Amino acid sequence: MVELAIHGGPAAAEALEIPEWPTMNEASEQYVQEALDSGHWCRNAGGEFCDRLEAEFAAYHDAKHAVAVCNGTAAIELALLACGVEPGDEVIVPSYSFIASASAVPAVGAVPRFVDTDPRTYNIDVDHLEDVITDRTVGVIGVHFAGYPMDMDRLIPLVESHDLFLIEDAAHAQGSEWNGEKVGTFGEFGTFSFQESKSLPSGEGGIVVTDDDVLAERARILHNIGREQGTTGYRHYRMGRNYRLSEIQAALALGQLEKLDAENRIREENERRLLEELEAIPGIETKPRDERITARGYCLENFRYDPDAFDGLSRDRFIEALNAEGVPVGDGYEMPMYRQPAFFRNEIGRLLPDGTDIPDYRHLHLPGVEELCRTNVSYNHKVLLADAEGVQSIATAIRKIQDNTDTLIE
């Protein structure tokens, strides 16, 4: 009999050697050194790297404009401000995401309305979008969760038919494509994060992309404390914020962009082979293959776990056993976003105009996201950068646990 690693047996995924993340490359080292040597560490002091990053990132997306900002949270807030969101407006937000995808809305004085999540894709459930549109709704923030694109063929006509703006939170999706077009370019704005765990990291950082000249100019002014585009000094025309990215982080992000595609192709190939194995394991539900997803970006990856196919073994115990076998996985967000105390009325009420009708999120129930919180298993994108044999051993480890559940269930 094979002994599970959690009981002292040999780990099934011993071959899985996960590389360090983040990693430097020559270009990053060179550009950061140049930024340091230039003596211009703030873009307003005459540096070139924020400009270069914006030009390269926009070109990479075939977008007209990009504005670099200090993080992905600021990117969403900036997009909302540039879209003209006013205090008391409502914006539809995902229920399964990092908090910034929704907290950016009260941060600009507006009300988040949570829409359910499709547990198969982890993205907004488009079937339920119209349920949460009210006469105060002005826009939608959707997240390309884990880099798996939202169904743009369905989402775009729907938001257009209701005259809403769309902000694509692409914090996880650097390099993902829908029908040959980079995500982040379908809505009014695409927003990205360069935080260290992301696949294009600069420690902290972010960027917005848009094809709209007017929105781009507004974003540029607002991110530079209301100064006119390209100016410094003490004339402030709009009530903006300081969301600027530093030159040093821009230099780092510019260098990291040069290796993004090559790394994504390794992740994609490893994931393709892993999926073939995972799809054959009862009780492991992977995301649907969709031919319209023509390239994948990554931040993390997920599958759903069904205890019934593992003799009732709880997800927590499954995760513990898989970790012991050498596969680092976790359970992701433990609650739907609307359950976070940060969204309780007494907390977000402080940010909204007096008398705003705030939904009682504590009593909200959205079945798709609640199912995900019970069943999700996540792993980091760096796992998919391990060598092919190591990645394949993830499936071996899962099968080993499935074959030995009797030793795990008391």
- Catalytic residues, by residue number, are 98, 169, 172, 195, 198, 227, 234, 244
Contacts with ligand PLP in 57-96 (CB under 6 A)?
A: 71-73
Which of these, 107, 115, 59, 108, lies nearest to 86 by C-alpha position?
A: 108
Among 103, 195, 210, 246, binds ligand PLP (CB under 6 A): 195
From the CB of 97, what's the least distance to ligand PLP, in Å?
5
Q: Is 295 in the site for ligand PLP (CB under 6 A)?
A: no
User: CB under 6 A: which stretch of 52-60, 97-105, 271-279, 392-400 binds ligand PLP?
Assistant: 97-105
Among 43, 77, 96, 97, binds ligand PLP (CB under 6 A): 97
Dig out the tokens for 150 from the structure. Answer: 């939202």
Q: Is 98 in the site for ligand PLP (CB under 6 A)?
A: yes
What Å distances lie between residue 96 and 48, 307, 318, CA to CA? 37, 21, 22
CA–CA separation, 358 and 113 (whole Å): 9
CA–CA separation, 11 and 51 (whole Å): 48
User: CB under 6 A: which stretch of 98-106, 221-229, 354-362, 369-377 binds ligand PLP?
Assistant: 98-106
Contacts with ligand PLP in 220-259 (CB under 6 A)?
A: none
Print the binding letters for residues 158-177 with ligand PLP: x by CB under 6 A, - otherwise. Answer: -----------x-xx-----
From the CB of 244, what's the least distance to ligand PLP, in Å?
14
Q: What share of the chain is helix, strand, coil (3-state, %, to 5)?
A: 45, 15, 40
From the CB of 331, what's the least distance to ligand PLP, in Å?
16
CA–CA separation, 239 and 134 (whole Å): 28
Q: Is 139 in the site for ligand PLP (CB under 6 A)?
A: no
Q: Is 378 in the site for ligand PLP (CB under 6 A)?
A: no
Give per-residue burial for 137-147: e unless 16+ CB within 10 Å, then b: bbbbbbbbbbb
Residue 308 CA, chain-centre distance (Å), reads 30
Half-sphere exposure of 363 (CA within 13 A, CB side): 4
Among 111, 124, 143, 166, binds ligand PLP (CB under 6 A): 143
Q: Is 171 or 397 the residue whose CB approaches ligand PLP more closely?
A: 171
Q: Is 210 in the site for ligand PLP (CB under 6 A)?
A: no
Alpha-carbon Rg for the chain in angstroms: 22
Q: Is 101 in the site for ligand PLP (CB under 6 A)?
A: yes
Which of these, 366, 367, 378, lies nearest to 92 by C-alpha position?
A: 366
Residues contributing to the site for ligand PLP (CB under 6 A): 71-73, 97-98, 100-101, 143, 169, 171-172, 193, 195, 206
